[in-house]
Amino acid sequence: MSGLRSVEDQLVRVLAAVRPIGGETLPVGHAAGRTLTAPALAAHDIPLFDNSAMDGFAVRAADVAAAGPGHPVSLRVVADLPAGVATDPPLAAGEAARIMTGSPTPTDADAIVPFESTAGGLADSLGTVEVLEAPTPGAFIRRRGADLRTGDVVIDAGERLGPFQVAAAVAAGIDVVTVARAPRVAVISTGSELLAPGEPVRRGLIPDSNGPLLAQLVVEADAELVLTSRVSDDGAEVAQVTADARAAGADVIVFTGGVSAGAYEPVRAAFDGHGEVEFTRVSMQPGKPQAFGTVGDGCLVFGLPGNPVSVAVSFEVFVRPALLALQGRSVIQRPRVTLTAAESWTTPPGRRQYLPAVVDLVARTVRPATAGGSGSHLAGGLARASAFAIVPAEVARVAVGDDVDVMLVG
């Protein structure tokens, strides 16, 4: 379709306007979901000390080198080492220490014999032990620093502090991390037809589903929601709520609705012609009409087309990458996989299709989530979607068995 801007071109313009927001130093326990702006370095080794991988006995491997099922070797148990113990008992020839998983191994020991490799097992483990199997030197000893050394990078700048990263940071003795501030976002639904969720419906009026959709998407992008609002199709209200959002410290304002070609387009009325926010048409379906720009000292303004599926797609394609780029995230795109179409469907001519989709990652198949096709008003079908099938503009129809590029979002 002529005169349409490519998705890539629009995204480049969006990202060019992103200025990384400031950072702060926070205790690890208060930084979940934040993005590191400086690498987090190990404050100590992991493991912290040589320790046992098994419940059993710390031994000198040479003492029991001759042990076998028919000829046990007896050792004197001279110490008991439960988890948390700090002692380092000396072991002379013929001596062993009972030891539990995670306890520091005695300096004199060079192997662990699990209870299962002894005649008496746990029941008969203090006094003497009869070893039935010769351990190889080093067996079941987890060496200090085998995972990470003091000063090693545990988490790179640009990485999100998720549960795995929090665990690794704590294990490496990291108390504080330097992270990006959470971007502050205002979500504003425009439309005189909009009702608060749950308000009684009547002809002409519909629930504002875009507001709750965006509110959750924003939070899931690790940003902070500072304002949600619903305004009528009146440009003056849009101007007022923009001022409110800026007063609330918004780094990003996301409008839905009011950006296309109708007589009552409040986002257009408020911003078009002022030079700060550009109104354009992008070669995608849904999501063709798009507004983007900045106000004030770099506050990003998105005007997403009002149709619910258009909002969901536009958020993934333009807003989420911007929110992650603001945080300095190294990967700002959702994961993509190639799956096999399990159903056929038609695609819009001349625009890249982003179709809400149901995926089966075991069978590696994809199918439309919306029964009625790719209409941008089919808000109900979104409930089944956990992905968008992305079909190039030049493809007119997807047939069963075709390879399809799929963006995973759920």
Ligand X SMILES: Nc1nc2c(c(=O)[nH]1)N[C@H]1C(S)=C(S)[C@@H](COP(=O)(O)OP(=O)(O)OC[C@H]3O[C@@H](n4cnc5c(N)ncnc54)[C@H](O)[C@@H]3O)O[C@H]1N2
Q: Which residues form the interface with ligand MOO (CB under 6 A)?
A: 285-288, 305, 307, 310, 376
Residues 266/268/270/271 CA torsion (nearest 10 deg): 160
- Reported in sequence order, the residue ranges of 181-247 that DSSP labels E, i.e. its strands, are 184-190, 194-195, 206-207, 224-231
Query: Residue 35 in contact with residue 160, Cβ under 8 Å?
Result: yes
Rounded to the nearest 5°, which phi and psi values hold at 107? -55, -35
Partnered with residue 345 across adjacent β-strands are 398
Residues 234/238/244/245 CA torsion (nearest 10 deg): 150
381 makes contact with ligand X (CB under 6 A): no
321 makes contact with ligand X (CB under 6 A): no
Closest CB to ligand X among residues 103, 256: 256
Minimal distance in Å, beta carbon 187 to ligand X? 10
Q: Which stretches within 38-184 are classed as H helix?
A: 163-171
- When CB distances are held under 5 to 8 angstroms depending on the partner's kind, the choice from ligand X, ligand MOO, none that residue 117 binds is none
- When CB distances are held under 5 to 8 angstroms depending on the partner's kind, the choice from ligand X, ligand MOO, none that residue 35 binds is none
Stretch that binds ligand X, among 66-74, 85-93, 196-204, 284-292 (CB under 6 A): 284-292
Closest CB to ligand MOO among residues 211, 305: 305
- When CB distances are held under 5 to 8 angstroms depending on the partner's kind, the choice from ligand X, ligand MOO, none that residue 106 binds is none
Stretch that binds ligand X, among 86-94, 146-154, 188-196, 270-278 (CB under 6 A): 188-196
Indicate which single residue of 257, 293, 348, 368 sits in contact with ligand X (rule: CB under 6 A).
Answer: 257
Minimal distance in Å, beta carbon 231 to ligand X? 10
305 makes contact with ligand X (CB under 6 A): yes
Minimal distance in Å, beta carbon 193 to ligand X? 5
The angle subtended at Cα 42 by Cα 36 and Cα 45, nearest 5°, is: 155
- Reported in sequence order, the residue ranges of 38-157 that DSSP labels E, i.e. its strands, are 40-41, 51-52, 56-59, 73-81, 95-99, 111-114, 128-131, 141-142, 153-155
The identity of residue 267, as a single letter, is V
Tokens of 49: 């000390």
The 189-208 contact track toward ligand X, x by CB under 6 A, reads x-x-xx-----------x-x
Closest CB to ligand X among residues 1, 48: 1
Partnered with residue 291 across adjacent β-strands are 279, 303
Nearest residue to ligand X on Cβ basis: 306
- Strand 284-285 to strand 224-231: parallel, antiparallel, or no bridges (unpaired)? unpaired
Indicate which single residue of 60, 288, 351, 352 sits in contact with ligand X (rule: CB under 6 A).
Answer: 288
Closest CB to ligand MOO among residues 166, 312: 312
Q: How far apart are CA 169 and CA 28, in angstroms?
A: 8
Q: What is the DSSP letter of 83?
A: T
Indicate which single residue of 47, 183, 258, 356 sits in contact with ligand X (rule: CB under 6 A).
Answer: 258
Q: How far apart are CA 223 and CA 221, in angstroms?
A: 6
Stretch that binds ligand X, among 164-172, 285-293, 327-335, 400-408 (CB under 6 A): 285-293
- Strand 95-99 to strand 73-81: parallel, antiparallel, or no bridges (unpaired)? parallel
Indicate which single residue of 262, 296, 380, 392 sits in contact with ligand X (rule: CB under 6 A).
Answer: 262
Indicate which single residue of 310, 327, 347, 370 sits in contact with ligand X (rule: CB under 6 A).
Answer: 310
- When CB distances are held under 5 to 8 angstroms depending on the partner's kind, the choice from ligand MOO, ligand X, none that residue 189 binds is ligand X
> Sign of the C-alpha dihedral, residues 384, 388, 393, 395?
negative
Minimal distance in Å, beta carbon 297 to ligand MOO? 30
Residues that bind ligand X in the complex, under the rule CB under 6 A: 189, 191, 193-194, 206, 208-211, 256-262, 265, 286, 288-289, 305-308, 310, 376-377
